[in-house]
């Protein structure tokens, strides 16, 4: 019969031998999930014999899954984003810390009463975080994947926010106009998919990754169609790949957007791109609206 300390050491070593990154961190998080134990309690109980063999069996199963490079968040079924807990599965991309800079930049555009549209919403982490943190905003999210929409709906209900979630290809079935359209679309060039980490390549939905030959297919479509859904002076906001900044600036500028700019994440990598639909009165520089997503 093992102790918690022995079982955790086994988990760490097993993950290291499988060359899983951050073996110590993952072994602990899987123990925390399997045994529902916090670190303070663990240190009090770590040398006690494990009597709950079902939990031990579950932990060993978790470690085996992680050795097969199933993402940690898919095993635990949860991920943290903007301080909120989201359900995740193999139907959605795992929310990334890098994406938080997009949410923070979009928040600088918002004023009460605005309406936002999130395209390729996935787990809903962008849209639902914005709504949870800005309760006087209305929001709509779309995704082509029925499985992703089911996850997003459960996250919406868990967070207790109001959001319309629509299954469709980008703007399909979307009605009305919006102050901000935000998207973290597929942007990995097709030929680069095979070189991604196995957690991403083998276990996250390819349809949420593959952006076409140059990774820009969805940006082109969204930029081309967004003008029909943005209010005058409304903003288009994207997460982008770190090498795509110049391309997005060009695409947005060529489409007639103004105030075009990119922003960086905390690692200093280009991560976001923004453009503003011109006001109907071209002599007015968004005088009654937000100044833009500066401060990124």
Which residues are annotated as part of the binding site for substrate? 184-187
The Cβ of residue 15 has, within 10 Å, a number of other Cβ atoms equal to 21
Rounded to whole angstroms, the Cα distance separating 248 from 241 reads 10
Structure-token pair, residue 273 = 């791109």
Please report, in range form, the residues annotated as the binding site: 143, 184-187
CA dihedral of residues 63, 65, 66, 71 (deg, nearest 10)? -140
Rounded to whole angstroms, the Cα distance separating 1 from 102 reads 48
Mode of pairing for the β-strands spanning 115-119 and 178-183: parallel
Rounded to whole angstroms, the Cα distance separating 280 from 94 reads 39
Mode of pairing for the β-strands spanning 78-81 and 84-87: antiparallel
Do residues 210 and 176 lie in contact, with contact meaning Cβ atoms separated by under 8 Å?
no
Please report, in range form, the residues annotated as the binding site for S-adenosyl-L-methionine: 143, 184
Mode of pairing for the β-strands spanning 78-81 and 138-143: unpaired
């Amino acid at each position: 019969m093992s102790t918690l300390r022995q079982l955790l050491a086994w988990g760490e070593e097993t993950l290291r031998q499988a060359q899983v990154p951050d073996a110590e961190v993952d072994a602990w998080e899987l123990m925390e999930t399997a045994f529902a134990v916090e670190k303070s309690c663990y240190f009090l109980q770590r040398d006690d014999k494990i009597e709950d063999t079902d939990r031990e069996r579950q932990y060993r199963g978790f470690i085996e899954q992680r050795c097969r490079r199933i993402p940690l968040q898919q095993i635990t079924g949860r991920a943290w984003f903007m301080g909120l807990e989201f359900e995740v599965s193999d139907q959605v991309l795992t929310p990334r810390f890098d994406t938080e800079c997009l949410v923070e930049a979009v928040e600088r555009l918002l004023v009460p009463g605005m309406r936002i549209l999130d395209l390729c919403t996935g787990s809903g982490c962008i849209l639902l975080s914005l709504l949870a943190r800005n309760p006087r905003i209305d929001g709509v999210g779309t995704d082509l994947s029925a499985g992703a929409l089911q996850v997003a709906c459960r996250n919406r209900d868990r967070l207790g926010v109001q959001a319309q979630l629509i299954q469709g290809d980008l703007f399909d079935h979307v009605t009305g106009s919006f102050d901000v359209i935000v998207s973290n679309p597929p942007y990995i060039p097709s030929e680069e998919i095979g070189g991604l980490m196995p957690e991403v390549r083998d276990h996250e939905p390819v349809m949420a990754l593959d952006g076409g030959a140059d990774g820009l297919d969805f940006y082109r479509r969204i930029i081309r169609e967004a003008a029909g859904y943005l209010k005058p002076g409304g903003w288009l906001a994207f997460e982008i790949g770190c090498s795509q900044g110049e391309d997005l600036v060009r695409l947005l500028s060529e489409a007639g957007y103004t105030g075009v700019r990119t922003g960086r994440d905390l690692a200093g990598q280009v991560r976001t791109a923004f453009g503003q639909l011109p006001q109907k009165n071209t002599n007015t520089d968004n005088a009654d609206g937000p100044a833009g997503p500066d401060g990124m």
